[in-house]
Amino acid sequence: MADETRKERIDRELIELLNELRVSLPGVQVLFAFLLILPFQNGWQRVTELQQDVYFAAFICAAIAGICLISPTANHRIQFRQGTEVKEHLLMRANLAAIAGTVFLALGMTMAVFLITDVLFAATWAALVAGSIALALLVLWYVMPIVTRIRHGRPT
């Protein structure tokens, strides 16, 4: 937006970021809820040590993803009406937290896919399916936007 002031740009970018977080958070919440109840289900005692390790790693990744993706909202509330300088600093930190949150979400999703596929089929299939999911997440969430950013340069 060429004709907007610095304050208007920061306000718009913060609103855009908070709206994007509203899209990511339900995914984290569903994954985390699934992982929370899984050990209390019948049959959990039959999982292998590898499956337990993958489960725990996925659980921790989902928790970290939730922390990262919710932190901009908590920060925004605490820093309410602190001025444009503080808001711009918040926006930069929130952007990093959102990126970190999506990394941990991608890891948690990949491990959950591995776990479920391993329980249903076998470790070979689990590795193949989880690897495919990881590749899709990597390309669609990170490689494509990074390539676009490099090709078009950083905006001023």
Reported as a single tens digit per residue, the pLDDT across 99-117 is 999 999 999 999 999 999 9
Query: What pLDDT, on the 0 to 100 scale, is given for residue 1?
Result: 60
Alpha helix positions (H), the chain: 6-37, 49-78, 84-120, 123-137, 144-152
Q: Which residues contact 4 (CB under 8 A, 6 or more apart)?
A: 12
DSSP state at residue 80:
T
Q: How far apart are CA 71 and CA 98, in angstroms?
A: 9
Summary mean pLDDT of the chain? 88
Reported as a single tens digit per residue, the pLDDT across 55-75 is 999 999 999 999 999 988 887
Q: Which two tokens stand for residue 64?
A: 């970290």
The residue with greater pLDDT, 14 or 134, is 134
Q: What residue ranges do the domains of the chain occupy?
A: 6-38+47-152
Whether the Cβ atoms of residue 72 and residue 18 lie closer than 8 Å to each other: yes
Q: How confident is the model at residue 155 (pLDDT cuts 50, 70, 90)?
A: low
Reported as a single tens digit per residue, the pLDDT across 85-98 is 777 888 889 899 99
